[in-house]
């Protein structure tokens, strides 16, 4: 049903109760019928590249849903009921118009991949810290000026990207993300990095180019697995001596 360019999904879709995968990509849908919530066996929904401005509350009834693609739509919000999707492991909502996330997003305790790039987010809810199974969190191209300290509770995170936002500082709690392997923060407004960044013992890639950094903390020398450090176009006049002990590409 993808690429057919239809603008309306009939309520009769609710009759297909044995569906496991529903592919509605590349159409002209502006809304989904409430009857979508009757498809209790659904494990994957593909809604990429439509014109959806909202998702029905009934989407929270899809208790077996594991994968949800809604990127490249016109979503301005997500329904609170999305937190009922306890089996969801992948959520893609990039390229929408989201200004905030519902607090209930923290109830997605089994989510492993969360891609929210290219929206209009100005802040993240503190409840994001409850999503402790997250492995990948991509927040590029939003309007974030700060991160909640609860982000430090995502102890299984291995990829964190917050490129092209408006961050001025990082919370010290970021040092709790000891499984983090890649941290990309380029094109923000960072003036310094917290000393706690030295606790990221598995970090291999740190990209902070195009910020306002004047110094790097000496603790960066504790990142023994670091091999890419991109600091281009900052205000650095001197690098910490501890970098001499690392085998990195600058």
pLDDT score recorded for residue 248: 67
Residues 6+ apart with CB under 8 A from 60: 37, 79, 81, 82, 83, 84, 85
Structure token pair of residue 167: 């961050």
Spatial distance between the Cα atoms of 88 and 85, rounded to a whole number of angstroms: 6
Per-residue pLDDT of the chain (250 residues; tens, 9 = 90+): 555 677 889 999 999 999 999 999 999 999 999 999 999 999 999 999 999 999 999 999 999 999 999 999 999 999 999 999 999 999 999 999 999 999 999 999 999 999 999 999 999 999 999 999 999 999 999 999 999 999 999 999 999 999 999 999 999 999 999 999 999 999 999 999 999 999 999 999 999 999 999 999 999 999 999 999 999 999 998 888 888 767 666 5
Q: Mind giving me the DSSP string for 9-37?
A: --GGGGG-TT-SEEE--SS--S---GGGG
CA distance 132 to 113: 11
pTM of the model as a whole: 0.93
Q: What is the structure's pLDDT at 240? A: 85
Boundaries of every domain in the chain: 11-245
pLDDT at 168: 95
Tell me the CATH number of domain 11-245, given options 3.80.10.10, 3.40.1010.10, 3.60.40.10, 3.40.50.620. Answer: 3.80.10.10
Q: What is the pLDDT of residue 118?
A: 98
């Amino acid at each position: 049903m993808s690429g057919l360019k239809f603008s309306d999904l009939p309520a009769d879709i609710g009759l297909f109760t044995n569906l496991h995968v529903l592919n509605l990509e590349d159409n002209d849908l502006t809304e989904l019928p409430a009857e979508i919530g009757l498809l209790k066996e659904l494990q994957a929904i593909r809604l990429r590249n439509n014109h959806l401005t909202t998702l029905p509350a009934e989407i929270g009834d899809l208790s077996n849903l594991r994968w949800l693609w809604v990127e490249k739509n016109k979503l301005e919000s997500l329904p609170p009921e999305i937190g009922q999707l306890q089996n969801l492991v992948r959520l893609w909502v990039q390229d929408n118009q989201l200004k905030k996330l519902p607090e209930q997003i923290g109830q997605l305790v089994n989510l492993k991949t969360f891609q929210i790039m290219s929206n209009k987010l100005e802040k993240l809810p503190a409840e994001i810290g409850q999503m402790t199974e997250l492995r990948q969190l991509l927040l590029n191209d939003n309007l974030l000026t700060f991160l909640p300290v609860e982000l430090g509770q995502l102890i299984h995170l291995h990829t964190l990207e917050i490129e092209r936002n408006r961050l001025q500082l990082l919370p010290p709690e970021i040092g709790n993300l000891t499984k983090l392997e890649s941290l990309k923060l380029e094109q923000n407004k960072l003036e310094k990095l917290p000393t706690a960044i030295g606790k990221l013992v598995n970090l291999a890639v740190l990209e902070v180019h195009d910020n306002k950094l004047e110094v790097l903390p000496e603790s960066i020398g504790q990142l023994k697995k670091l091999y890419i450090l991109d600091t281009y176009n900052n205000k650095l006049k001197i690098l910490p001596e501890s970098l001499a002990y690392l085998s990195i590409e600058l």
